[in-house]
Amino acid sequence: MNLSGLRPPPGQKHTRKRIGRGMGSGLGKTSTRGSKGQRAGTGFGQKRGFEGGQMPLHRRLPKRGFTNIFKKQYSIINLSTLEELEGDTFTPDHLLEHGVIKKLHEGLKVLGSGQLSRKVRIEAHHFSKSALEKIQAAGGEAVVIGGAGVAVPPHTEPPHTEPRA
């Protein structure tokens, strides 16, 4: 087989439609625009979503929801990812340095997807409830950065209160 002999299959390639090149070409005079009308003139262009005067779809659909301007974007990491990494101490700087997370955003949050089979010390800004339980079950330590130190699982029972007399 010779590479110089390769050809595209018949019908795959088409010649460009050359409009406005004289009457003999069959595409002269009105140049495929028809005669008269708004679309025939030079400089014609429609707005995106224009439906010929009918109310466009993006205006027929109701508006919904809002954008929370106080939303915080966290870099997330799962326990399954930490399990694959070497070492027993993980900090946001360590994870950035090794390319595990691309950007820190407003903090690091550890999520509980996957299992942890060894004792590790993790420093992060937030921990999910399941991640915290799995870290402590493996004998590890979860340290909240900019918080109250060592993370404690939330109290599951409501506090006992005496009814007022």
Q: What is the pLDDT of residue 126?
A: 93
Dig out the tokens for 10 from the structure.
Answer: 């018949």
Structural domain spans, the chain: 75-150
d(CA 78, CA 22): 67
d(CA 126, CA 79): 13
Options 3.40.470.10, 3.100.10.10, 3.40.47.10, 3.40.140.10; which CATH number does 75-150 get? 3.100.10.10
Threshold 0.85, pTM exceeds: no
Q: What is the pLDDT of residue 150?
A: 60
> Low-confidence residues of the chain, pLDDT below 50?
none
The model's pLDDT over 126-145, given as tens digits with 9 standing for 90+, comes to 999 999 999 999 999 999 99
DSSP structure class, residue 41: S
Q: What is the pLDDT of residue 1?
A: 79
Q: Assign 59 to helix, strand or coil.
A: helix
